[in-house]
A and B are shown apart, each in its own frame.
Chain A
Amino acid sequence: MRSRDGNSNLSRRLCSVVLFYSLALDASEYLISYRYVVKDAILYNDTLQISKSMKKCQGIVHSDALILDINDSKDLNKIVSENEQEFTSYIHKLGMHINYSDITQNLQNHSTAVLTLKTTCFKVDFNDNFVKIAPLQ
């Protein structure tokens, strides 16, 4: 509806909506899982799976977020592989499921430990110089 003082109210609202959505557009959700196997105290295999979520995740954003520096890249796989140490230590703090089994046969010992981060939805905010990653709980 046209107001008496022109369309200032409408245009203001429209501008704020456009501005808000333009800021929120770069926030996306990713599904991340991580698993690594340690056999006889030696790292045997590790797998990090990252994929963009195809539907909206439910939950509240975790307060303790990880901030990584980026150089105009929007590829999360690349960003994470460049900052693998930081990312894995962050994942460890969030909580890992451990499954350890050990067998001693005729005094010879073999052990296997599997640490897993079950598929978790992360909210990822891309900015100019950094990316903010936080899990949804």
Chain B
Amino acid sequence: MKYSLVLASLLAASSLFAAQQVQPQVQTVDTATLQQTNDELVQVKKELSKVRNEIQNVHDKAVDDAYEQVLKENKKLTITVVGQGVAPMNTTSPAQAYALAKRAAIADGYRAIAEKLKGVRVEGQDTIKNMMVQKSTVRTQVEALVKYANVVETAFKEGLCEVEMEIVISHADFAQ
């Protein structure tokens, strides 16, 4: 009993001593790591906000790409199209073939501009007999007046002429 009391007092004293010695050490370690973790946290937060911004930008761009551009007031909109034309077989010279193909390509370019600006009328008709398609017809029609369209680039290769055309439109052009 006497020994046990001595042992207990020794243990208590040693634990007290140990606590006195260890406690300040633990406290110093904690503040250092806390500071470090705080810095890291701030950095991570910054990076997270950067990534969020990037994701938002990508999302906005995707949304812009998905929807067609809309003509707004006091803003101009440039529409670019490519028209294709073929030279006839019975041309007398390559120059004539080029000239004729270019004119056909310009007509196609005008058609493409009209399609974009005014729209296309589409009509379809299918004839089905005995569960089989007998005849399938699709008609499209475009009618418009196109002014101030410009030919930007012309390329002629192997009888095919491609013209890049553009038209700048503003809100005032359509105002009534």
Contacts and interface: CB of A to CB of B under 8 A. Distances in A.
Nearest to A89: B151
Nearest to B115: A100
A1 interface: no
Given A101-B140, A105-B137, A36 B146 contact: no
A103 B103 contact: no
Interface stretch (B8-16, B67-75, B80-88): B80-88
Given A43-B85, A106-B136, A113-B111, A98 B103 contact: no
A89 B84 CA distance: 17
Contacts of B147: 93-95
Interface in A61-107: 85, 88-89, 92-107
Question: Counting chain B CB atoms within 10 Å of each CB, which of A40, A41, A95, A103 scores highest?
Answer: A41
A36 B103 contact: yes
Interface of A is mostly: strand
Interface residues of A, number: 28
Contacts, number: 91
A105 B59 CA distance: 42
A46 interface: yes
Interface string A32-64: 000010101111001000000000000000000
Contacts of B99: 85
B145 A93 contact: no
A27 interface: no
Contact of A46 (B103, B105, B137): B103
A46 B138 CA distance: 27
10 contacts: A41-B84, A43-B85, A95-B145, A95-B146, A97-B143, A97-B145, A99-B143, A105-B136, A105-B137, A113-B111
